[in-house]
Amino acid sequence: MMKKILIGLAVLFLLAITTFYFVSQPTATEDGAYIPSPFALKLATSPTTNFDNTTYDNPHTGSKKVLMVCTEERNMTMANGKKFSTGNHPVEMLLPILHLKNAGFDVDIVTPTGKPVKVEMWAMPQEDKNIKDIYSEFKNKIEHPGKLSEFVQNSMTDSSDYVAVFIPGGHGAMLGLPENKDLNKLIHWSHDNDMHMLAICHGPAALLAASLENDKDSYLYKGYKIASFPDAVDAQGPMIGYTPGDMPWIYGERLNELGVTIINEAADNTVHMDRKLITGASPQAANDFGKLAATELLKAVNK
């Protein structure tokens, strides 16, 4: 009898291992890239968000706007050569916009060359009406953004229209932005004009663009503390099938080398403000990040 029980338990164990193996494998896309596995999507995404629809006292009634810089690149080539289908995370991009709009600020969108914003649609919270509505409202801007290159060339001389720059997360923030010379100029321009910089999750990776002069001692954010997606959590991606391989480079490590300290160890709801830099750790932080940004921008325009 005991032998039968042991055999049965062994079979169940093998079935469980086999099932886990299949549900934790990244899912192939039509272009040969991979989106997260069913298991990873269950762990890391949600059909709803915690957007609380905050009402702000004395919302902005003027013309000040936020400039959101997004990625136009879809696939990240991992260390093993496999491609991860990424882009900007919809919650990290859209939930903060809901707060900014509640506070009276419109948002302009640019990508490096004006190609459409790439969005991680597999992370879209399909049961969240607020997010789906703001996505529909901004869909034309997302599909037809301005050109960062033209903004830098033609619009950057006048800072009167903008109160902040916003870089949303998603691994797409690591594609094309950290080495972009126009973004380098934009970051320095915003800093020189005392604007706020907003970056969430992997968004701080794009702040590496401010270091293109290769002078660590003069890096704009040297000595700053931020909340951001931890390198250690990225390293776990292949284990659950979130990514199809190890990261091609480690962005948090590079920020550390430039004198930036990441304060959170988990991909949680941590938000932080250091001078005019407002950051958040993950999609879980998007609501508090949006509220903090909206509150601080209102202080800036009303003082």
pLDDT at 17: 43
The DSSP code for 246 is -
pLDDT tens column, 114-145? 999 999 999 999 999 999 999 999 999 999 99
Mean of the per-residue pLDDT values of the chain: 92
Cut 0.85: pTM above it:
yes
pLDDT at 114: 98
Q: What is the set of active-site residues?
A: 201
Q: How many helices (H) and strands (E) does the chain have?
A: 10, 13
pLDDT tens column, 65-106? 999 999 999 999 999 999 999 999 999 999 999 999 999 999
* pLDDT of 16 above 50: no
Q: What is the assigned CATH class of domain 2-302?
A: alpha beta
